[in-house]
Chain A
């Protein structure tokens, strides 16, 4: 199933591995306005657990959905504050 969000920005971290998907996601979220959604495209299999863990432990962000495709993992993160 494919997620449908009104994404403000897409961050492409395909090919990058730990810790870059999380570190760059955090930097990209910093540039969003409250209520905007970031789409993250990653190939790192660890990014599913890592972005989930980061979002749970961080104020002002909410992980909306993670979609596991054939090669690419898509993560949708909303800036809530």
Chain B
């Protein structure tokens, strides 16, 4: 009898050890769905009113996921970070067949302002954040906004033209360095 009891005890121990092992594995797998610590690099090349949104929305949201985010702004993407220009980005209906304005009309003087005003009203009516609000929340959540030095010089901007939080004095190598370490890389 005593030999049987010992054998049962031994099986119990083995079973309990196996259960503990599986529980640990399950916890590991569940924790694996978290993406904290991921990295993302976005290259923002466009400065029209509509194209300012995708990089800033993705950057601020990724930061809310706990990701390390860099947005590298180059060419017209610099205007998003430009203190004066960022609140006055414009949209053109020219070449955009989805806007309800014929190209011939959209090309007339002042029509960019009309198209922009239409979109601004929609954004406001929809409760969508402004570009400045998105920059503010992005910076608050730790997004690094970089302004490409070569295009700052090319477009004859001054480093002081940008928001204080913007990192200047960076180039393609800096962007590539972060891209190489990133899980997500996007060109907008």
Chain A residues engaging chain B, CB cutoff 8 angstroms: 15-20, 22-23, 25-27, 43-44, 54, 56-60
Contact = CB atoms under 8 A, between A and B. Distances in A.
B61 interface: yes
A42 B186 CA distance: 29
Given A58-B35, A59-B31, A26 B64 contact: yes
Nearest to B57: A19
A73 to B, nearest CB: 14
Q: Which 9 A-B pairs have the closest CB atoms?
A: A26-B64, A59-B34, A57-B35, A19-B61, A15-B127, A59-B36, A17-B127, A19-B57, A23-B64
- The bracket for how many chain B residues form the interface is 20 to 34
Contact of B64 (A15, A25, A43, A56): A25
Given A17-B126, A23-B141, A58 B65 contact: yes
A56 B33 CA distance: 7
B180 interface: no
A58 B36 contact: yes
B66 interface: yes
Contact of A27 (B126, B128, B141): B141
B60 interface: yes
Given A15-B127, A22-B64, 5 more contacts: A18-B128, A19-B60, A20-B129, A56-B34, A59-B34
Interface in B42-87: 57, 60-61, 63-66
B163 to A, nearest CB: 18
Contacts of A54: 61, 64-65
A57 B137 contact: no
